[in-house]
Structures are given as structure tokens and as C-alpha cells.
């Protein structure tokens, strides 16, 4: 056990190691910190997620692979849990060097292959959404500039092994059920090893922070936006039913009691939903006004993140009939029903 490491986390990592999973913690430029990439010592040698596209991340990936007795060139399969750049950025480089297949949800393949175009569409979508829901245009312009500066951390990658919800991904001595669980992103994909009662969850469920259900464009490119928090609550309910004993996550420590954690996430969502309903009952407001009341200046510096949080809960309230959305030209307000 490393100095200062939580004994429960150390025990969980040892259980993962016994199941053939080696944790590679790769640095990212994001506030969430290092991303967990999981090396699976099976046939073919498999890497789950790759880290962002940077020299530092690549150096760390090579160093940690070497510490486990392997090299990039040994890899036969790269598995992608979802579309975010801290999980996909190095996939192109690693695939080219190793010749490995790249497995990902088939519905995400187009966006992964056309990264630059897809990133531009996402930025445009986010900008229009922020303006519609009350974020000042000068703030939107500044945030889009920051977003564009982060694009270099991603890269395109060609999916050579398209996965579908419910199919089995067979790897040597194991078989994983592919489970599409949208919410945190539209492409969130889980891998369930029923024999070992082990779930590879990406960012679908994290021990130390909630997985932000970010608003996004639908995977199929159709107009509109995802109802991300509604999708996420439905996905969590399905995950809760799995008899998992160990959940390997995309950040932080593994989870050994996913039911208790999911119940805590449900309770947190219910509390925030009631708080937002109380604010809307005072008078009709934009989603950005609600975010400002809850988080203050953070709702400016992280406008899209906080807007996703507020609109997600408003979607739940609209579905329940407690709130309705009003359109005033090209702007939206929410009022109590």
C-alpha cells in the first residue's frame, strides 16, 4: 500500500489487480485531475481509455506500461468508454504505434473520427444554448475562446470495432457485456464482467465527485439537445440493479458499494431539484439567473457546467409538471406550474 493511501482503496486496487486490471493514472490539464486508464492483462492486451493528447500524458503512459512489464507496441485492443478528450486524446497515436483495434460505441464512431468538426459543432451548440438561457454574450465569447484552447488535448480516432448496447465483447478468458448508459456524456459505455462481478464504468459513477451530466448534441447529429440528467438518472437506476462487487472508475478510487453511492446521488439530485423549484416559485427566471443565485461568480467562470446542472434539474421538474419553460423570442425562462 502506498504511503497515505486509504486502506479500502488499496484493497480494491488489489482486487482489481487479481482480476487482471492494472491502474495507470495519466495526467490531464483538467480540474478533475488524473484519468484512470486500465490495462487488462488478457489476450489481446487491452487498454481502456488513453488519456489526453499531450507529450506529458504519452510519456507517463509509456512509463507506467513499462512498470507493468509492457509497451505500447504490445497492445492489441483499445477500448473507449466515452467521447471526452481526457479519455480519447491519445487513442490515435497509441493505435498507430501498436496496430491495435479501437473498440467504442458504434453511435460515437462518427464524432470520434471527425474530432475537429465535432468539437466545432459542440462549441457552437454550447454558445447558442448559453445565450438562449441568459448567459451574457461577452461571457459566451470568452468561454468559447477557452474551450477552443483545449481542443489540442483531443484528436480524431477511427473506431475499427463498433460496439452495440447489450452485445458481448469477448477477450481471451473473459466476456464483457456492453452497456450504453448515457448521461455524463451521450456515449457513456460500461463493461460488465458478470463472472467476476466487476464493472468498468468510466465516468458514469465516481466515488469522490458527482459525474456532471453535461448538455450535449444527440449522438446521431439530430437537432436539439440531450436531456442529460433525465438520461443519467435512468442510467443510474439500471446500474444500481447490477450485482457488482467492484466498480472501476475513470477518475479516483474504485467503488465497492455502488448501491449506497447511487442512492446518495439520487438524494443529492432530489435536494437540488427542490432548491431550484423554490427559486423558480419566487418569480420566472432564466437558467443562468438560477445558477447565479446558487453558485455566484462560479456560474460565470463555469457557465456551461452550471447551466447544464440547472437545466438538468429543470428538465426533471418539467417532466413532473412542477415547472414549465417559457419562450420569449430566442430566450427561455422557467416558471412554476
228-242 mean pLDDT: 98
Asked if 332 and 325 touch (Cβ cutoff 8 Å), the reply is yes
Cα–Cα distance list, 28 to 23, 35, 46, 63 (Å):
15, 7, 21, 16
Q: Tell me the pLDDT of the chain averaged across its residues.
A: 95
Measured distance CA(214)–CA(185) in Å, rounded: 6
Query: Is the pLDDT score of 146 beyond 90?
Result: no
Q: What is the largest CA-CA distance in the chain?
A: 62
The H or E element containing residue 189 is: strand 189-193
Question: What is the value of pTM for the model shown?
Answer: 0.94
Distance of CA 70 to the CA centre of its chain: 27
Neighbours of 10 (CB within 10 A): 13
Q: Which of 174, 186, 203, 162 is nearest to 46 (CA)?
A: 174
For residue range 81-122, list pLDDT tens digits in order: 999 999 999 999 999 999 999 999 999 999 999 999 999 999
Strands 77-79, 46-48: pairing is parallel
Cα–Cα distance list, 320 to 269, 282, 285, 316 (Å):
14, 19, 18, 6
Which range (90-94, 128-132, 146-150, 222-226) has the least confidence? 146-150
Q: What was the pLDDT predicted at 4?
A: 53
Asked if 164 and 106 touch (Cβ cutoff 8 Å), the reply is yes
> For the chain, which domains are there?
7-116+150-265 (3.60.15.10)
Q: What was the pLDDT predicted at 279?
A: 98
Number of H helices, E strands in the chain: 12, 13
Amino acid at each position: 500500500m502506498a504511503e497515505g493511501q486509504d486502506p479500502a482503496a488499496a484493497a480494491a486496487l488489489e482486487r482489481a489487480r487479481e482480476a487482471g486490471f492494472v491502474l495507470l493514472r495519466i495526467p490531464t490539464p483538467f480540474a478533475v485531475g488524473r484519468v484512470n486508464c486500465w490495462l487488462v492483462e488478457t489476450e489481446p492486451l487491452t487498454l481502456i481509455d488513453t488519456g489526453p493528447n499531450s507529450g506529458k500524458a504519452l510519456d507517463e503512459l509509456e512509463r507506467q506500461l513499462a512498470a507493468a512489464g509492457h509497451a505500447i507496441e504490445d497492445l492489441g485492443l483499445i477500448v473507449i468508454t466515452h467521447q471526452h478528450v481526457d479519455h480519447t486524446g491519445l487513442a490515435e497515436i497509441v493505435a498507430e504505434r501498436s496496430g491495435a483495434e479501437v473498440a467504442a460505441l458504434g453511435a460515437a464512431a462518427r464524432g470520434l473520427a471527425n474530432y475537429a468538426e465535432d468539437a466545432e459543432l459542440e462549441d457552437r451548440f454550447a454558445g447558442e444554448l448559453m445565450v438562449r438561457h441568459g448567459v451574457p454574450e461577452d461571457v459566451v465569447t470568452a468561454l468559447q475562446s477557452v474551450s477552443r484552447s483545449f481542443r489540442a488535448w483531443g484528436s480524431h480516432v477511427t473506431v475499427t470495432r463498433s460496439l452495440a448496447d447489450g452485445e458481448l465483447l469477448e477477450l481471451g478468458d473473459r466476456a464483457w457485456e456492453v452497456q450504453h448508459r448515457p448521461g455524463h456524456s451521450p456515449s457513456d459505455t460500461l463493461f460488465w464482467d458478470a463472472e467476476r462481478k466487476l464493472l468498468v464504468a468510466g465516468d458514469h459513477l465516481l466515488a469522490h465527485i458527482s459525474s456532471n451530466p453535461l448538455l450535449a448534441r444527440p449522438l446521431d447529429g439530430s437537432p436539439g439537445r440531450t436531456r442529460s440528467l433525465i438520461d443519467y438518472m435512468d442510467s443510474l437506476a439500471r446500474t444500481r440493479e447490477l450485482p457488482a462487487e467492484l466498480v472501476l472508475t475513470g477518475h479516483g478510487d474504485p467503488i465497492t458499494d455502488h448501491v449506497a453511492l447511487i442512492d446518495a446521488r439520487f438524494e443529492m439530485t432530489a435536494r437540488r431539484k427542490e432548491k431550484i423549484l423554490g427559486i423558480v416559485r419566487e418569480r420566472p427566471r432564466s437558467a443562468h439567473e438560477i445558477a447565479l443565485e446558487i453558485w455566484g461568480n462560479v456560474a460565470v467562470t463555469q457557465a456551461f457546467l452550471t447551466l447544464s446542472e440547472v437545466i438538468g434539474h429543470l428538465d426533471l421538474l418539467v417532466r413532473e409538471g412542477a415547472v414549465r419553460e417559457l419562450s420569449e423570442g430566442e430566450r427561455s425562462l422557467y416558471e412554476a406550474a
